[in-house]
Amino acid sequence: AQSVAQPEDQVNVAEGNPLTVKCTYSVSGNPYLFWYVQYPNRGLQFLLKYITGDNLVKGSYGFEAEFNKSQTSFHLKKPSALVSDSALYFCASMDSNYQLIWGAGTKLIIKP
Amino acid sequence: EAGVAQSPRYKIIEKRQSVAFWCNPISGHATLYWYQQILGQGPKLLIQFQNNGVVDDSQLPKDRFSAERLKGVDSTLKIQPAKLEDSAVYLCASSPSYTSIGANVLTFGAGSRLTVL
């Protein structure tokens, strides 16, 4: 069965430092991977996706994600964190039935 | 472009009462989803519609939950009778077409927070 793992419940980063939110996946066939962000009391918002092509995917708000097939990872990154990036981040994978398999989420806290 | 509209934003009910949530997706989006999100967890798919047909309702507790999308546009999710464990945020999302991988980016509404006492 397909699965998505986000190994860290919470990530703490100082403002201005680079951030990484980790995601690993287990899929059969080609992986289709997504990152969504959820700000407090808001619905989820799409950040970026990997379908095919370049391993480095650029998305909204300065975020990017690196697809690594050998490590089955799709880590979310940003070169310089902002306090406003503090939110809940979800990684998801699409299965062969076009259904999204969601990770449990990682709470990102950016400290001033 | 207007987003996904949901109402009510907040609802507090006693257990065994009923509640209904409404969702209006983005115009032209064929696929509509209802998710349940319990605090601290990822979203759990309850039901997925393609136009007015059900694609997946395997995780919908059908003894108490029901959903419809009669005209292939807006949708209603109902819980009757509610249990304490139904306390959660109910998220509605839509996408242009779930079978097109590149186009299957979900747009979510703000959610409806349900508290069952």
Asked whether residue A91 is assigned to any structural domain, the reply reads yes
Residue of B72 and A108 predicted with greater confidence? A108
Is B108's CB within 8 Å of A45's CB?
yes
Asked whether residue A33 is assigned to any structural domain, the reply reads yes
Tokens coding A96? 């062969």
With beta carbons under 8 A apart, name residues in chain A contacting B4: 43
User: Which tens digits make up the pLDDT trace of B88-112?
Assistant: 999 999 998 877 776 678 999 999 9
pLDDT above 70: percentage of residues in chain B:
97
Please say whether the beta carbons of A112 and A13 come within 8 A: no
- What is the distance in angstroms between the Cα of A107 and the nearest Cα belonging to chain B? 9
Highest mean pLDDT among A6-10, A43-47, B100-104 belongs to: A6-10
pLDDT at B97: 81
Domains contained in chain B, number: 1
Chain A residues bordering chain B (beta-carbon distance below 8 Å): 32, 34, 36, 41-46, 49, 51, 90, 94, 97-100, 102-105
Please say whether the beta carbons of B6 and B109 come within 8 A: yes
User: Which tens digits make up the pLDDT trace of A49-103?
Assistant: 999 888 999 999 999 999 999 999 999 999 999 999 999 999 999 887 788 899 9
Q: Which of A97, A99, A102 has its CB closest to that of B43?
A: A102
Domain range holding A88?
3-104
Domains contained in chain A, number: 1
Domain range holding B69?
5-116
Is B102's CB within 8 Å of A90's CB?
no
Asked whether residue A111 is assigned to any structural domain, the reply reads no
B45: closest chain A residue by CA: A100
Candidates B60, B101, B113, partner chain A, best to mutate (most A CBs within 10 A): B101
Distances (CA, A) of B53 to A98, B47, B67, B70, B96: 16, 11, 11, 9, 15
Does B61 score more than 90 pLDDT?
yes
Q: Which of B56, B102, B105 has its CB closest to that of A99?
A: B56
CATH of the domain at B58: 2.60.40.10
For residue A37, list its beta bridge partners. Answer: A45, A89
CATH of the domain at A98: 2.60.40.10
